[in-house]
Amino acid sequence: MTTQPPLHSVPRAEDLYAKFVVPSANRGLTLVRGQGARVWDDQGRTYLDLGGGVAVNSLGHAHPAITDTLARQSATLIHSSNLYYNPWQGELARRLVGLTGAGKMFFCNSGAEANEALIKLARKWGHASGRYEVITATNSFHGRTMATLSATGQDKIKVGFDPLVPGFVTVPYNDLAAVEAAITPKTAAILVEGIQGEGGVYVATPEYLLGLRKLADDRNLLLLMDAVQCGYFRTGQWQSFQRILETTPGGDAFRPDAIAMAKSLGAGFPMGAVWFREPYQDVFGPGTHGTTYGGSPLACAVALTVLDVLERENLAENIRARGDELIAGLNKLAGTRGIAAVRGFGGLVGFQMKDEEAAPVVARLTQAGLLLVPAANRTVRVLSPLNVTADEIAEALAIIESAL
Ligand SMILES: Cc1ncc(COP(=O)(O)O)c(C=O)c1O
């Protein structure tokens, strides 16, 4: 048994990182504990955490149902590999298919991996007809693996990593004509986010989504959606496209051909998943794609608990209402606090600053006790846990009002 040294004799995390951790991220505080929407740093200061670990902590911190499942499941079966069936993966797949539509699930470990599966689906499906190109959107974000960064429509994350994976064409978001003009005899698929999160919370229009569906059908292309950040009830609907299309005639019937999921799926336990619509569900036959950890008993048991809590506590309705309060409050502040625009829904809301970059604004809010997340285009994201309360939203608005 190892004994933990007392905290005061341990070097500061910052110093250990400086010596031993690759400096690939800009980090701020040292966080040591969380409870609900609150976190504590190593100096004992408390913060309201509406950054949610970048849209991951959908049930906040230390939710007792997750703690309980982690303890129980880890005492039963943590990992078995995909050489075997496990009942939790089967049941989770059944629940996710039930929420999404007829099809099947593939499980992996992160958002980038889920998007890799979408890209590999396009390649595998298009192979027989010699098609492999995927059209993606300017300002999109799909991950940091070589294929997903090549698919991403932001040049800053590609610098120094060329030659990139070929076969991606990037055109402006919400511009149907640009997608149509980019189609070539090599095009296999279109890949978009329902709401661009990292890009600055830009929401797809109903016309764009329905137009993409028609274009994909007419030109025999796959329509792939990256719902890693905007899915999983974050908008108040299971998927962001359902929120966007909820008042549009015919919107109910809209489904892409495959959807990448991650982040909120495990509410902090790392996992990813892809839904494949019929008839694309069997494109990956035995041995064609895989991962050691994907769909482990522990990950799936946690994800089942997350779904249970979301449904039992009606958190989709909660985050819809809290998001409306937040957006109304931010719009009120907009005239006087340097805010140029407010975008998004529910637990994915962005406020764009007129002149200031997002990072210094986030730093000032951190000092004032509120954790938020910067995005591109001078936009600050509020990625609330789905069980955030009206009081916590009011507190966040008060901090924003006084700190900006
Ligand atoms: C839309 C989107 N896709 C993919 C990813 C990559 O996910 P991960 O960091 O889990 O690989 C992210 C991460 O922020 C994302 O927002």
Ligand 1 neighbour 376 (Cβ under 6 A) = no
Ligand 1 neighbour 198 (Cβ under 6 A) = yes
Q: Residue type at 138?
A: T
Query: 298 and 70 in contact (C-beta within 8 Å)?
Result: yes
pLDDT, position 1: 46
Q: Is the peptide bond before 297 cis (omega within 30 degrees of 0)?
A: no
Atom of ligand 1 nearest to the CA of 196: 1
Ligand 1 neighbour 141 (Cβ under 6 A) = yes
pLDDT, position 106: 98
Ligand 1 neighbour 114 (Cβ under 6 A) = no
Q: Among all residues, which ones are annotated catalytic?
A: 141, 226, 263
Q: Give residue 130 CA to ligand 1 midpoint distance, Å.
A: 29
Every domain of the chain and the residues it spans: 10-63+314-403, 77-312
Q: Partners of 260 in the beta sheet?
A: 226, 274
Q: Which of 154, 198, 379 to mutate to test the pocket of ligand 1 (most atoms within 8 A of CB)?
A: 198
Which strands sit side by side in the sheet containing 348-353, from one edge to the other? 339-345, 348-353, 379-382, 373-375
* CATH number for the segment(s) 77-312: 3.40.640.10
* CATH number for the segment(s) 10-63+314-403: 3.90.1150.10
Atom of ligand 1 nearest to the CA of 54: 14
Ligand 1 neighbour 228 (Cβ under 6 A) = yes
Low-confidence ranges of the chain (pLDDT < 70): 1-9
pLDDT, position 3: 55
Biggest distance spanned by C-alpha atoms of the chain? 66
Nearest to 77 by CA among 88, 68, 64: 88
Ligand 1 neighbour 193 (Cβ under 6 A) = yes
pLDDT digit string (tens) for 23-36? 999 898 999 999 99
pLDDT, position 33: 97
Q: Which pair of structure tokens corresponds to residue 368?
A: 């004032």
Query: Which residue is closest in CA terms to ligand 1's atom 4?
Result: 142
pLDDT, position 10: 76
pLDDT, position 110: 98
pLDDT, position 8: 57
pLDDT, position 5: 56
Q: Give residue 10 CA to ligand 1 midpoint distance, Å.
A: 33
Q: How far apart are CA 386 and CA 322, in angstroms?
A: 9
Q: Residue type at 146?
A: M
Atom of ligand 1 nearest to the CA of 115: 4
Ligand 1 neighbour 133 (Cβ under 6 A) = no
